[in-house]
Structures are given as structure tokens and as C-alpha cells.
Chain A
């Protein structure tokens, strides 16, 4: 039996069983790789292995291409902390960290109201759903209501709304002192 294609024939549910486990991978040419299995790409069966560094976050990543994988052996299980680190590894910075810098509840509410008004002015129907805004029934804006907080499965609506969010003018009536030109604007 051709061992290199056996790994690729496995089902996604099989591959999922290896996620967040410490594994030993043998690749073509007796290459040995060891690390935490972050994921298996369902299209190419490539194995993403991570070697975690210290808690500060540095780590090294190896990917073994699916067509070169000969054997994958589980040698350990991840504890909760490691599993959390693995799942957040490539994700963008947490929204809460960005929202926290913005000045708290009141600021978030003000931004939500401002964005809602702006979208409605531009003829988008907007509904408040908890802390999120539901735009035209297909797009959700989460706190802190910036361009990258828009979520939608419709790419045309997403592009239009992101463009609008980027062009939203600063709220009228809010004066600030321009320190460069020494005047109020």
C-alpha cells in the first residue's frame, strides 16, 4: 500500500482527532518532525506543527505537505492552557483589547449610535441586536465598530459597508483643539 497517499485518504473527522495533540510526524526522506498539531488542511492534508516557546508568545511553526507525510503518531495530549494557546495562535488581536483602549461603555455606545445614524443616512436599514448592529439583515458589526469588525457572508455588501465605515465623518458638534495649528476644529 502506498503509505504517502494513505494519510491523504483519511477523513476530516480522522484528522480532527489529531488536533491539539503532540505528534511525531515522519515525512519523506526519513524527516522527523515533532510538535503540537495545530491543524490539518482538508484540501492538501498538510500538517501544521507548532513548537511553543515561552509564555511571551514566540514559537516556531513547521508545515509538512500532505503528499510527503508518511506517518503521524500521537505522543501526548494538550492541557487546557496549551489548547487555548494553540487555538488563538494565528488569530488577530482580541477585540476586547482594542475596545478597552477606546474609553469604555459610554464611548462604545456613542460610536454605535454614530455608526447607526451614518448607515441609515446612507440608506442601509440598521437594527440593534444587543451590542451589535445588524445591517440589511446580512451584515453584523461588533464592538468597537471599526472596519475590521464587520462580518458578512455577502462580499458585495461587506465591501460597501466597510467603505462606508471608513468614510464616516467625525461626529458633528464635537470640537477638539488642534495642537498643530493652534485652533479649534
Chain B
């Protein structure tokens, strides 16, 4: 009889019925500061909340479309400690904390698939 293997319980994924990231998840609280500042200030009215939310949606939509256009393009990542690497962009996670890339060119060889932590990245660039 084979030795039983302990079951690996993965953390729960995002709620499939919700529209986006979960601001109460420990991961989000630890790694992404809140930017809903209008809610935190006392004395804000519905009008200013609405304009703030409009600004947020407009800017987030532009950013998401930028991410979409990066798919399958060659990106150059500038990271800390003067590390510069090239890779083909695959996808980003919803909090923009990790990028999935292919053919990551590193000084010790090419990684066919890799996850890059966005916190290690200073900037990245690509050509349209």
C-alpha cells in the first residue's frame, strides 16, 4: 500500500460572483494600499464621491486596456539592483502583484515560463 500523501489545500480563489478584487482579503490589505480616499475623509458628499469614482473608472479602464495590449509582446523589465530582463508578456493577476511571462532572458539562461513579482519591478517598457 502506498504512503498517503498529505492533501495540499490551496487558498480560496476570488469570489466568482463578484466584479473584481476583494478589498478585505488579507493579501490585498497587506500589499495594496487603499486608494478610496474620498470615503475616508469626513464630510464628503455623494457628488464628490461620484466624481472621484468616475476618475477612478476612467483611469483604471485605460490601464487595463494598456495591460491587454501588452499580451504576447516583448517587454523590457527594469528591476531593483540594476537588473534588466526581457520577456514575452503573458498575463497579470487582478491586483497587479505578479506578471506571468514566457521566455524570460536571464543571465543564467532562458526560463520558458516565469512569474515576476511586481514589487521587484521599478519600470517596464514595450513598443506598440
Residues of chain A having any CB pair with chain B under 8 Å: 5, 8-9, 11-13, 15-16, 19, 27-29, 31, 33, 38-46, 48, 57-65, 67-68, 87, 89-91
15 A-B residue pairs with Cβ-Cβ distance under 8 Å, sorted by A, are A9-B33, A16-B58, A31-B123, A33-B123, A42-B59, A44-B96, A61-B127, A62-B123, A62-B124, A65-B118, A65-B119, A65-B123, A68-B121, A89-B128, A90-B68
Q: How far is the CB of A22 from chain B (nearest CB, A)?
A: 17
How many residue pairs link A and B with beta carbons under 8 A? The number is 109
At the interface, yes or no: B62 with Cβ under 8 Å from chain A?
Answer: yes
Digitize B27-66: 1 where CB-to-A-CB distance is under 8 Å, 0 elsewhere.
Answer: 0000011010110000000000001100110111011011
Digitize B63-89: 1 where CB-to-A-CB distance is under 8 Å, 0 elsewhere.
Answer: 101101100000000101010000000
B38 partner, pick from A9, A11, A60, A89, beta carbons under 8 A: A11
B118 partner, pick from A5, A44, A61, beta carbons under 8 A: A44
Determine whether the beta carbon of B66 is less than 8 Å from that of A27: no
Determine whether the beta carbon of A90 is less than 8 Å from that of B69: yes
Determine whether the beta carbon of A42 is less than 8 Å from that of B35: yes
Contacts of B119 in A (CB 8 A): 65, 67
**Sample of 9 further A-B pairs with CB below 8 A, known A58-B128, A62-B123:** A12-B55, A13-B52, A16-B59, A27-B122, A40-B63, A42-B60, A44-B95, A65-B123, A68-B121
Given A13-B52, A43-B32, A65 and B59 contact (CB-CB distance below 8 Å):
no
Given A8-B35, A15-B55, A40-B59, A60 and B69 contact (CB-CB distance below 8 Å):
no
Digitize B101-128: 1 where CB-to-A-CB distance is under 8 Å, 0 elsewhere.
Answer: 0000000000000000011011111111
Q: How long is the Cα–Cα vector from A27 to B65 in the complex, in angstroms? A: 23
